[in-house]
Amino acid sequence: MNEMFQGILSWDFIASGIRVTTPILLAALGALIAESAGTPNIALEGIMLISAFIGVIVSGFTGSLWLAIIFGVIVGTLMAAILAYFALKLKTDIILAAIALNIFASGGTIFFLAMLTGDKGSSASVNSLLIPNVTIPIIDKIPILGDILSGHHSITYVAIVLIFVVQYMMYKTPLGLRIRAVGENPDAAESVGISVVKTRFIALMLSGFLASLGGLFLSMGYVSWFARDMTAGRGWIALAAQALGGLNAFGVAAGSFLFGFTEAVSYSLQIFDIPYEFTQSLPFIITIIVLGIYAWRKVKASGKLNVSNSSVGPTEK
Amino acid sequence: MKADKRFTLYRIGISVGIALLIGYIIVFIASVPSTDIAFMKKMKEAFDSANEAYKYFLTGALVRWRFTGAAFNQSGFIQWINEAVPIIITGLAVSMVFTAKQFNIGAEGQMFLGAAVATAVAIYFPGIPFISTLLVILTAMAVGAGFASIPGFMKAKLKASEMVTSLMLNYVAFFMGLFIIKTFLRDTEAGSLVSLEFQQQTMLPLLNERYRWHIGIFIALGMTVLVWFIMKKTTWGYKVKLIGDNIKFAEYSGINSSKMVFQVQVAAGAVAGSAGIIELLGYHGRFLWLYSPGYGWDGIIIATLARNNPLFVPLAALFLSYIRVGAKIMGRYTNIAPEIVAILQAVIILLVTAEAFLAKWKQRSINKEATQSETNDTPVQVGEVR
Amino acid sequence: MADNCILEMKNIWKIYPNGVVANKDMNLKVNKGEIHALLGENGAGKSTLMKILFGIEQPTKGEIIYEGRQVDISSPHKAIEYGIGMVHQHFMLVPSLTVAENIILGMEPKKGLSIDIDQAYRFVQEQSDLFGLPVPSKEKVKDISVGMKQRVEIIKTLVRGANLIILDEPTAVLTPQETVDLFNALKNLTEKGKTIIFITHKLNEVKEIADRITVTRRGRVVGTADVKDISEIEMSKMMVGRDVDIRIEKEPAQSGEKLMEINDLEFTRTDGVKSLKGISFSLREGEILGVAGVEGNGQTELVQIITGIIPREKGRIKLNQVELPKITDPGFCRDAGLSHIPSDRMERGVAADSTIAENIISDRFKKVPFSKNGVIKWKEVYGFGEEMIKEFDIRTDSARTEIKMLSGGNIQKVVVAREFTAHSKITIADQPTRGIDVAAADFIRRRLVKERENNLGVLLVSADLTELLEVADRIIVLFKGEIVAHFKEVKQINETVLGEYMLGIKRMSSEEMGDL
Ligand SMILES: Nc1ncnc2c1ncn2[C@@H]1O[C@H](COP(=O)(O)OP(=O)(O)O)[C@@H](O)[C@H]1O
Ligand SMILES: [Mg+2]
C-alpha cells in the first residue's frame, strides 16, 4: 500500500499524468467547440486515429517532420469536413455519419498500413520520426517544479495554451459568439444572415483540427509508432470529459485531467500484482462512475422526472 | 406517398454502387506495379490485376475460379452463410435500440462478454444435446442483458448519455472477457490464448461437416421472426416505437418512458449477448478472440441499412457478409487486405443515411405529383361551407 | 404609381418536401413607404411567401423584383444585403445572450480579434435612440418581456439597414396595450421612409394601421385593395371565402359538482423564477373555465403540473375526487379522468413518423379491442382510425397516413380526436386552436362547447382573447404566477379589460374575485 502511494505521489507520476492527459485534452477541446455549435462530433476517435497514422506514414516515407505534422493536421481536419459535409449538406444523421467515419478510420488505417508496409499490426518497420520535447531553460533546473513543468512534449505545451485560446475564442471573439448562437438557436443566427451551415462547418473542422493534434501526439510523442486502434477509446473519453466540463474550456480541461490522471494511476498500478486487464479497464470504469455521479447530481438539482427534458425553463423556447 | 420508399431503395442501390466504385479505385491504385516500366503498360497491368481482384471480390463467395472455368464454391457459400449469423443477431439488437432512438452501441461488449462467460458453461456443463446448448446461449443472453442494463439504467434514471457509457463499457467488457478466458478457462496446452474446448454434445448440429455449416443461420432467422413479431405486433413493440418517434408524446400518452428506455436496452442486450457464442458453438468450438471481432459495430451498419426493420436485417447482413467473404478470398489471391471492406461500409452508411442525397431528384417527382393533384383542386367558392 | 413600387413577387409557387403546396401562383406588389397588410387565415401560405422573400425558403417557381431589379434571394444573408428585414412569427433570438449581443450578432464591432463590447453597447444605445425604441441592452434576452423581445427584433432589422421590414403576425403575442405601442412605432418608421409588410388575420388591426391589403386564401392571392375602399365584412369574405358567422351558440352554464380542485399550487423554474405563487381554483361539471394571461405568466407550468408532466413544488390537486400524488406522471392523470390538448402539438401531441391510427390509440392501446394479451390488433386499430377520420373530418386518404404528411389543422384534429374520445370528465385544452385554419378552429371550439353540454369540464388556456370571450363561461387571469382577476360573467367584459389585468395594470381583491 505504501509503495503504491509512493508511486502515485511521485513527481514522475504527475508528469506522466500530464502526458496521458494531452490527447484527451485536445480532443475534448474539439468536442467543446463542436458541441457549442450544436453538432456533437463523435468522430474524434477516428480522426485521432487517422492523424496518428498519417503522421507516422508521412514522416517515415518523407523523413520530414513538418510534412508529417502538416499532413496529419490536414487529413484530420478533412475528416471533420467530411463529417460536416454529410451531416450539414446531405443531412446524414450526425451520429451515424460519425460512426461510419470511425469504422472507416479503424479499418482503413489497417488496410493502408498493410498496403504500405505489409504489416497489419503496427508500423514497426517504418522509421518514423518523433515530435521533440521542450526543455524550458531555468525552470528546468529547479527541482520538482522542473520535473513537472519542463521537458514535456511540444504538443503538450500547445494543448495547455489551447485551453486559453479556445476559451478566448468561444467567449470573446465574433466567431465564438456566432458558434454559440448557432448552437443555441440556429434560426436566430440564420435570421441575421449568419450561415448556420458555414459556422457549423468551421466548428466541426476546428474540432477535427484539435483532435488531429491529439492523434499526432499519440504516434509521434507518446510512442513512436502506429498500432491498430491505438487511440483505444480516448476519443470517447474526451467526449465524457467535455460532458463533465460543459461548454467552458477550463471545466473541460479539468475533466480531461481527471481522466488522464486516472489512466496514469492505472499505469502505476501495473507494477503491482493486479491483472493488466483490470488496470486497463480502470479509466473506463472511473469515467462511467464519474459520469453517473455527475448526471445524478444534475437530475437531483433540476428535479426532472422523465427521460425527455420536460422541464419548464425560461419562457423562450 | 410512394416516392419516399422508392427513393430509399434507389439511395441504397446507388450507395452500394458508389461504394463498390470507390473500392475499385482503391484496388486499382494498390495494383499499380512499382516496377520501372512505361506508364501505359503500368496502367494496363493495374487494370488487369484490379479486374482480377474485383472478380474474386464480387464472385468469390459463390464461384471457384479454375483454369478450366468456374465452379460452385461450396466452402465460400458456407462461409458466407456462417458469417452472416452473428451479424444478423447484432443487427437485430441494434435495430431494437435504434427504433427507440437509444444510441446504445454496446452490442460489441455485450456480445464479447456474453460469449466469454458462456464459454465456461460450454466447457464445464455436461454435454446434453439441446439442453446444454440452450443453457449456454441463455447464459450469454443473460450476461448481455445484465451488461446492457448499466447504460440502460444510467439513461433511464440519471439521463447519462447511453452512447458514451455503452462505449466505455465495450472496453470494460473486452478486458473482462479476456481476463476470464485467460485466468479461468485457458487451454494451457494450446500455443495461443484460447479457451478449453467445448463439450462435443453442446456444439450446434452441423449441416455440412467438411466446411462446418452449422444451424446458426436458422437460429438467427428464428430470432429475426421473433424480434419482428415483438417489435411490430405487440404493445411492447408499439411502446418502443413511440418513445423513439417522440418520447414526450409517449410520456404524455401515459407510457412510462424511463421503464421503456431501460427495457429496450436490456432486451436488445440479451439478443446481442447471444451473437458471439452462437458462432463459437457452431464453428470454432472454443473461445479464441484476442481482438473484439466487431460484430456489434457491424450490427449498427446492418440496422442502418435495414432501416431498423427486423425483416430486412438478414438481407443486409447477408449482403455485408457476402462482400466480406469476397474480400477475404480476394485477399488470398491478391495482396489487397480484406479490411478494404471497412472503407466500403463507411461509404455505404454515409450515403444510405444521407437524407438529402438524391433529394433534388426526389423533390422533382414530388413537385410533379403535387402539381398534378393541384389541377383537380377546384378553387374555393365564396359562400362555400366547410 | 408604378415607379413607386418597391417589391413585386410574381407567380410564386412553393411546394414543400412533404408535398404541401403552400403557395400557388401568388402575386404581391408593395409600394414604397406604405404599410401593406398581408391578410389570410392560418395556413393560407403567408409565412411561406415571406420566408421566400427573406431567403429562408426557395420558391419552386416564380420571380422576385426588388427596387426594379430581378433578384435571386438565396439566403437571409442576401435578403439583408438587399435591405429586407424580417421579424418572425416565432422570435429569432438567442435566449442566453444579452440584448446587445443579439443585435450585433453577425456584425460585431471589433477591437483586435475580440468583440468590442463597449462599442456594441454604445451602438445599440444610439440606434435605439434614433428609432425611438428603447431596449435594455445589457440584459439577457431570456429575462425580458415579450413586447421587449419584439422591439429587439425590430431593431435587429433596422441596424442591418432594412428598408423593407416584414412583420409576421407581430400582434399575436402582444396585449392590446403593447399593440398600441407597436403601431406607433411602425407609423414612426414609415415616416422615416421604411416600407412595412404586416401579416395578420385580425381585421380591426388592418383597418387601423394598413394602407393597402393583399388577401390570401389556401395558397392563392384573392385580391389587393386600398384599405379605405373596403369594409371589414368584405375583407373577411375574401379571406374565408364565405360569410363569416361563427358565433357559437350556447346555453348558459349549468355547472354542477367540482371536478377538479387546485389548492395553493407553487412552482419554481430551473432558472429560479417562482412561476406559480399559490394558485387555487376549481373546475365544475358543465363549465368551460378560461385562463387568460400573457405568455410566460405561469400558464405552461400550471397545465404541465395538472397533467402530470412536471412535479409541483407545493400544493394539492384533486381530479375527480382522486388526490394526485406528489410524484406523478401523465398516465396517472389520464387514469384519473383527464384529457389534455397540449399547446405545442408537434412537441407533445403527436408522433410525426407514426400513422394517424397509431397516434389515436396512444393512450388506449392496452385496452380491448385494440390489443389482447399484449398483442396489438392492427385491424381494429385501423378500423377505429378510419372512424375517427370521418367523425372528426380529418382530411386525408387513410388512417395509415403518417402525421407529418398532414397540415397543422388536420394534425390538431388527430389530437382532438384522441382526447375527445378518451371519455374523460376533464379536458385541459392548452391553445387548442393556435396556428390552424378557421374552419378547423371553429370545429374544435364547437367540440369544446359540446363537452360542456355533456356535463364535462373544460379548462381552456388561450392567448386568443376573442376565443376565450366566445367560448368560456368563467375566466381567470394569470399575472406573474398569481390569479389577479376572476370574471364570472364573461358577457360583460371585453378584450381591453382583460388586457389591463393581463399586464398587471389592475388587479382584483379577493372579495372582488369571489369564489374561485
Ligand atoms: N416547413 C414546412 N414543411 C412543410 N409544410 C409546411 C412547412 N411550413 C408550412 N407548411 C405548410 O404550408 C402551409 C402554409 O403555411 P404557412 O405559410 O405557415 O401559412 P400562414 O403563415 O398563412 O399561416 C400550411 O399547410 C403548413 O402546414
Ligand atoms: Mg404564419
Task: Parse chain C into domains and list their residue ranges.
Answer: 5-240, 246-337+424-516, 349-422
- Is residue A68 pLDDT above 80, yes or no? yes
The answer to whether residue B98 sits within a structural domain is: yes
Task: Name every chain C residue with its beta carbon within 8 A of the beta carbon of B379.
Answer: 220
- Is residue A9 pLDDT above 80, yes or no? no
Determine the atom of ligand 1 nearest the C-alpha atom of C407: 27
Residue C403 to residue C383: CA distance in whole angstroms = 17
Mapped onto helix, strand or coil, the DSSP state of residue C484 is strand
Q: How far apart are the first and last CA of chain B?
A: 25
Find the domain containing A136 and state its range. Answer: 2-306
Task: Name every chain A residue with its beta carbon within 8 A of the beta carbon of B168.
Answer: 233, 236-237, 240, 284-285, 287-288
C514 and chain B in contact, CB less than 8 A: no
Question: Which residue of chain B is at minimal alpha-carbon distance from A244?
Answer: B160
- Candidate of C12, C20, C220 to mutate for ligand 1, largest count of ligand atoms within 8 Å of Cβ: C20
Ligand 1 centre to CA of C43 (Å) is 6
Domain shared by B99 and B243, yes or no: yes
Indicate which CATH number applies to the domain containing A97. 1.10.3470
Average of per-residue pLDDT across A160-187: 96
Task: Name every chain A residue with its beta carbon within 8 A of the beta carbon of B335.
Answer: 115
Per-residue confidence (pLDDT) for residue C34, from 0 to 100:
94
Residue C315 to residue C323: CA distance in whole angstroms = 11
Domain shared by B8 and B55, yes or no: yes
The answer to whether residue B250 sits within a structural domain is: yes
Domain shared by B215 and B258, yes or no: yes
Task: Name every chain A residue with its beta carbon within 8 A of the beta carbon of C271.
Answer: 313-314
Q: List, for residues A204-261, the tens digit of each pLDDT value.
A: 999 999 999 999 999 999 898 999 999 998 999 999 899 889 899 999 999 999 989 8
- Inter-chain residue contact A174 with C115, CB threshold 8 Å: yes
Per-residue confidence (pLDDT) for residue B2, from 0 to 100:
62
Residue C31 to residue C35: CA distance in whole angstroms = 8
Q: Phi/psi of residue C515, each to 5°?
A: -75, 115
Task: Name every chain A residue with its beta carbon within 8 A of the beta carbon of B343.
Answer: 104, 107-108, 111
Per-residue confidence (pLDDT) for residue A202, from 0 to 100:
98
Per-residue confidence (pLDDT) for residue B86, from 0 to 100:
98
User: Is B209 exposed, middle or buried, given 0-12, 13-18 or 19+ CB atoms closer than 10 A?
Assistant: exposed
* Residue C457 Cβ < 6 Å to ligand 1: no
Q: In this structure, which residue's CA is closest to atom 21 in ligand 1? A: C47
Residue C464 to residue A70: CA distance in whole angstroms = 61
B381 and chain C in contact, CB less than 8 A: yes
Residue A265 to residue A283: CA distance in whole angstroms = 9
Q: How far apart are the first and last CA of chain A?
A: 55
Residues of chain B with pLDDT under 50: 376-386
Q: To 5 degrees, how large is the angle CA B266–CA B269–CA B273?
A: 145
Q: Answer yes or no: same fold for C5-240 and C246-337+424-516.
A: yes
* Residue C16 Cβ < 6 Å to ligand 1: yes
Determine the atom of ligand 1 nearest the C-alpha atom of C42: 23
- Inter-chain residue contact C88 with A192, CB threshold 8 Å: no
- Inter-chain residue contact A310 with C304, CB threshold 8 Å: yes
Question: Nearest C-alpha of chain C: how many angstroms from A175?
Answer: 9
Residue B139 to residue B143: CA distance in whole angstroms = 6
Per-residue confidence (pLDDT) for residue A308, from 0 to 100:
46
Domain shared by B116 and B137, yes or no: yes
Q: How far is CA A228 from CA A121, B167, C121, in A?
A: 6, 18, 54
- Inter-chain residue contact C106 with A303, CB threshold 8 Å: no
pTM greater than 0.95: no
**pLDDT tens, N- to C-terminus, chain C (516 residues):** 446 899 999 999 999 887 778 999 999 999 999 999 999 887 789 999 999 999 999 999 999 999 999 999 999 999 999 999 999 888 899 999 999 999 999 999 999 999 999 999 999 999 999 888 899 999 999 888 888 899 999 999 999 999 999 999 888 778 778 888 899 999 999 998 999 999 987 888 888 899 999 999 888 999 999 999 988 888 878 887 765 555 677 777 777 889 999 999 999 887 778 899 999 999 999 999 999 998 888 999 999 999 999 989 999 999 998 899 888 889 999 999 999 999 989 899 999 999 999 999 999 999 999 999 999 999 999 999 999 999 999 988 899 999 988 888 899 999 999 999 999 999 999 999 987 877 888 899 999 999 898 999 999 999 888 889 999 999 999 999 999 999 998 888 888 888 889 988 889 998 888 888
Ligand 1 centre to CA of C46 (Å) is 8
Find the domain containing B35 and state its range. Answer: 1-59+339-372
Average of per-residue pLDDT across A279-288: 89
Question: Nearest C-alpha of chain A: how many angstroms from C254?
Answer: 35
Task: Name every chain B residue with its beta carbon within 8 A of the beta carbon of C332.
Answer: 254
CB atoms within 10 A of CB C138: 12
Q: In this structure, which residue's CA is closest to atom 18 in ligand 1? A: C47
Task: Name every chain B residue with its beta carbon within 8 A of the beta carbon of A275.
Answer: 179, 183
Q: List, for residues B155-198, the tens digit of each pLDDT value.
A: 999 999 898 899 899 999 999 999 999 999 999 998 899 999 99
ipTM for the complex? Answer: 0.87
Q: Which comes out higher in pLDDT, residue A5 or A276?
A: A276
Per-residue confidence (pLDDT) for residue A4, from 0 to 100:
54
- Candidate of C14, C38, C48 to mutate for ligand 1, largest count of ligand atoms within 8 Å of Cβ: C48
The answer to whether residue A316 sits within a structural domain is: no
Question: Nearest C-alpha of chain B: how many angstroms from A101?
Answer: 6
User: Is C112 exposed, middle or buried, given 0-12, 13-18 or 19+ CB atoms closer than 10 A?
Assistant: exposed
Per-residue confidence (pLDDT) for residue C249, from 0 to 100:
73
Least confident piece of the model among A60-64, A265-269, C410-414? A265-269
Domain shared by B322 and B343, yes or no: no
The answer to whether residue A47 sits within a structural domain is: yes
The answer to whether residue B173 sits within a structural domain is: yes
Per-residue confidence (pLDDT) for residue A161, from 0 to 100:
96
Determine the atom of ligand 1 nearest the C-alpha atom of C14: 12
* Residue C410 Cβ < 6 Å to ligand 1: no
B360 and chain C in contact, CB less than 8 A: no
Per-residue confidence (pLDDT) for residue A316, from 0 to 100:
30
Chains that touch A (3 or more CB pairs under 8 A): B, C
Count of domains forming chain B = 2
Domain shared by B199 and B114, yes or no: yes
Q: List, for residues A132-164, the tens digit of each pLDDT value.
A: 888 878 777 777 777 777 778 899 999 999 999
Domain shared by B280 and B307, yes or no: yes
- Inter-chain residue contact C310 with A189, CB threshold 8 Å: no
CB C267 within 8 A of CB C276: yes
Per-residue confidence (pLDDT) for residue A302, from 0 to 100:
67
B290 and chain A in contact, CB less than 8 A: no
The answer to whether residue B253 sits within a structural domain is: yes
Domain shared by B54 and B107, yes or no: no
Domain shared by B215 and B303, yes or no: yes
Q: In this structure, which residue's CA is closest to atom 16 in ligand 1? A: C45
Ligand 1 centre to CA of C94 (Å) is 24
Mapped onto helix, strand or coil, the DSSP state of residue C273 is coil
Sheet with C258-268: list strands edge to edge.
Answer: C274-284, C258-268, C314-319, C322-323
Which fold is adopted by the domain C246-337+424-516?
Answer: Rossmann fold (3.40.50)
Q: To 5 degrees, how large is the angle CA B319–CA B115–CA B299?
A: 25
Q: How far is CA B316 from CA B16, B229, B281, B302, B322, in A?
A: 11, 19, 23, 5, 10
Asked if the C5-240 domain carries CATH number 3.40.50.300, the reply is yes
Question: Nearest C-alpha of chain B: how many angstroms from C67?
Answer: 30
The answer to whether residue B178 sits within a structural domain is: yes
Task: Provide the angle, in degrees to the nearest 10, between the axes of the packed helices B235-245 and B216-233.
Answer: 70
Q: List, for residues C476-492, the tens digit of each pLDDT value.
A: 999 999 999 999 988 88
Per-residue confidence (pLDDT) for residue A3, from 0 to 100:
57
